[in-house]
Amino acid sequence: MTKTDIPDLASLFDLTGRRALVTGARSGIGQAACAALAAAGADIVGLGSSPMPETAARITAMGRSFDALEVDLSAAQDFDAVLDRAGPVDILVNNAGQIRRHDLLEFPQSDWDAILQINLTAAFGLAQAAARQMVARGVPGRIVNIASLLSFQGGIRVASYTAAKHGLLGLTRAMSNELAGQGVTVNAIAPGYIATDNTAALRADDDRSQAILERIPAGRWGAPEDLMSAVLFLCAPGSGYVTGSCVTVDGGWMAR
């Protein structure tokens, strides 16, 4: 390979002119994903169930546009209509998710259904609708699903969340097989124990928090910003030959 064969590094991660739809954009990992993509030049559509002024302010301060899209993913939706409201997008980050904890023998059907709807059914509907749009437009698309360490493990008291995250990783692989030849990549990121609303109960439990920290080789809870580089990589032009993969960002948890 000669020097002329080596692409400009900045161009590999340049998202100028791209438009990204990020779900669960109000805070945490979703807001960090918005910031990472905006920093690379993308304009952002943030999807959430309530207003997200903090995310909007953060993105517009970076000189990028931010459009808020209020959608309740806990309810059945016409996802093609949701994508029509979002406008043409080149990138989808499926981040929205919830977790509910109960002992297995008392796990209510309502919480099973609710978590599968938000974490898996809505993610599939949005990814399918986004892929339809990307393929029809003939653009190189990027879909990134936020999975979990519980895509690989069983967990405790989180049966519906574990089932949904296992399903989301399987969906990532299945979609990648069908879309790779049409210029759309589908990948996942599995965060470790990140300081977000979903882990507030664990962090408030001193014994459980300490046990978790003792098992993380990095010795700390992750921050949403720890996922920014992985999000950017999987959404960037330079990752066009990466599909069906799952990147763990876990401080070494899975290697332990």
Is it the case that residue 7 has pLDDT exceeding 80? no
Handedness of CA 63, 68, 69, 74 (dihedral sign): positive
* Active site members: 161
Entry field: residues in the chain: 256
Is it the case that residue 109 has pLDDT exceeding 90? yes
What's the rounded Cα separation, in Å, for the pair 50 and 60? 18
- Counting the structural domains of the chain, the total is 1
> For residue 33, what pLDDT band results from cuts at 50, 70 and 90?
very high
What's the rounded Cα separation, in Å, for the pair 31 and 44? 10
Provide mean pLDDT across the span 112-120: 98
Q: What pLDDT, on the 0 to 100 scale, is given for residue 197?
A: 85
> For residue 1, what pLDDT band results from cuts at 50, 70 and 90?
very low
What residue numbers bound the domain in which 244 lies?
A: 15-248
Provide mean pLDDT across the span 199-203: 87
Q: Is 143 part of any domain?
A: yes
Q: What pLDDT, on the 0 to 100 scale, is given for residue 114?
A: 97
Q: Is 1 part of any domain?
A: no
Q: Would you say 196 and 221 are in contact if contact means Cβ atoms under 8 Å apart?
A: no
Q: Is 9 part of any domain?
A: no
Q: Is 59 part of any domain?
A: yes
Q: What is the CATH number of the domain that holds 49?
A: 3.40.50.720
Q: Is 28 part of any domain?
A: yes
Is it the case that residue 5 has pLDDT exceeding 80? no
Supply the DSSP symbol for 222. Answer: B
> For residue 3, what pLDDT band results from cuts at 50, 70 and 90?
low
Q: Round the CA-based radius of gyration of the chain to a whole number and report it.
A: 18
What's the rounded Cα separation, in Å, for the pair 26 and 54? 7
For 54-84, the pLDDT digits (tens) are 999 999 999 999 999 999 999 999 999 999 9
Across the chain, mean pLDDT equals 96
Provide mean pLDDT across the span 32-61: 98
Looking at beta carbons, which pairs linking 105-114 to residues 24 or more positions away fall under 8 Å? 107/159, 107/160, 111/160, 112/159, 112/160, 112/163, 114/74, 114/160
Q: Is 46 part of any domain?
A: yes
Q: Is 183 part of any domain?
A: yes
Phi-psi region of 187 (alpha: psi -120 to 50; beta: other; left: phi over 0): beta
Q: Is 179 part of any domain?
A: yes
Q: What pLDDT, on the 0 to 100 scale, is given for residue 2?
A: 53
Supply the DSSP symbol for 59. Answer: H
